[in-house]
Amino acid sequence: MTIAVQPLGRVDYLPTYAAMRAYTAERTAATPDVLWICEHPATYTQGLAGKSEHILAPGAIPVVATDRGGQVTFHGPGQVVAYPLIDLRRAGYFVKEYVYRIEQAVLGTLAHFGVTGHRVAGAPGIYVRLDDPRAHDLLPQRPRRLASGERAADAAPDFRGLGKIAALGIKVSRNCSYHGVALNVAMDLEPFTRINACGYPGLQTVDLAAVGVSASWQEAADQLARRLQSQLAARVAAAGT
């Protein structure tokens, strides 16, 4: 079954947040999966684990406490926000794979624009090399499969030479997802300097415009929506059974 895309346009954050919670709370086994694509006015959102010290100088920008995972991030014009409202049990995959699939959709969207996105071990979201956003070299700090008996290093993620271009924060309730992913296209990045984005002091945030890509919001939204539709398809549908 294809996930229906519902373009919302530019909408305030709080009523959108309330609507996705209500949609999830009222779901039944027959409720269709949907993908909301939108843009928000300037808003800081704080995750469940959020610490106030990561909000440095919000000024007049409102700060909204939410029930998603993660720390603080910024939403604003020029950013594509995608909210997949998915029944994960019906789709046939667990949360870890769900996150992987969302990130794959972002990677595919960036590749469409000639940009190479990367994952960083221990830090959900997608990053680009600041010195060469089109380089395909693998990151030394990428997630990797551990050898038998090897343990992951208990260290903070390594963001050297990287900028974050897409942030991910989700919530799963009764096996159904809400919240989602935000891809920076062409926005005012200054508000990111007033927070420790995603809880990491010094983490630089970039958008497609900053790495030399001239793309409209709509073009980026269409590309991301199409890839999310494909990546988040149910396992049985994807397998053709």
111 class by beta-carbon count within 10 Å (0-12 exposed, 13-18 middle, 19+ buried): middle
Tell me, what's the pLDDT at 156? 76
Please list the residues that pair with 72 across neighbouring strands. Answer: 46
Task: Give 167-229 as a DSSP string.
Answer: EEEEEEETTEEEEEEEEESS---GGGGGB-GGG-TT-EE--TGGGT----HHHHHHHHHHHHH
Q: How far is CA 175 from CA 16, 21, 109, 116, 204, in A?
A: 20, 13, 27, 32, 33
Tell me, what's the pLDDT at 239? 47
117/86 Cα distance (integer angstroms): 25
Tell me, what's the pLDDT at 151? 53
pLDDT (tens, 9 = 90+) of the chain, 241 residues, equals: 689 999 999 999 999 999 999 999 999 999 999 999 999 999 999 999 899 999 999 999 999 999 999 999 999 999 999 999 999 999 999 999 999 999 999 999 999 999 999 999 989 999 999 999 999 988 988 887 655 554 555 567 889 999 999 999 999 999 999 999 999 999 999 999 999 999 999 999 999 999 999 999 999 999 999 999 999 998 755 444 3
Task: Determine how β-strand 123-129 pairs with β-strand 43-46.
Answer: unpaired
Q: In this structure, what are the phi and psi dihedrals at residue 48, rounded to the nearest 5 degrees?
A: -60, -35
Please tell me what DSSP assigns to residue 75. Answer: E
How many whole angstroms from its chain centre is CA 32?
22
166/198 Cα distance (integer angstroms): 11
123/30 Cα distance (integer angstroms): 34
Reading the block at residue 186, the tokens are: 């062409």
Angle at 169 between CA 187 and CA 25, to 5 degrees: 120
Is 38 designated active site?
no
Report which of 214, 223, 105, 88 is spatially closest to residue 168, judged by C-alpha positions: 105
Helix orientation angle between 95-112 and 217-231, rounded to the nearest 10 degrees: 140
Angle at 179 between CA 153 and CA 192, to 5 degrees: 65
Which of 182, 198, 224, 228 does the annotation list as catalytic? 198
Size (the chain), residues: 241
Spans of all domains in the chain: 4-146+158-239
188/211 Cα distance (integer angstroms): 14
CATH 3.30.930.10 holds for 4-146+158-239: yes
Tell me, what's the pLDDT at 227? 98
Alpha-carbon dihedral 146, 70, 102, 134, rounded to 10 degrees = -80
CB of 46 within 8 A of CB of 72? Answer: yes
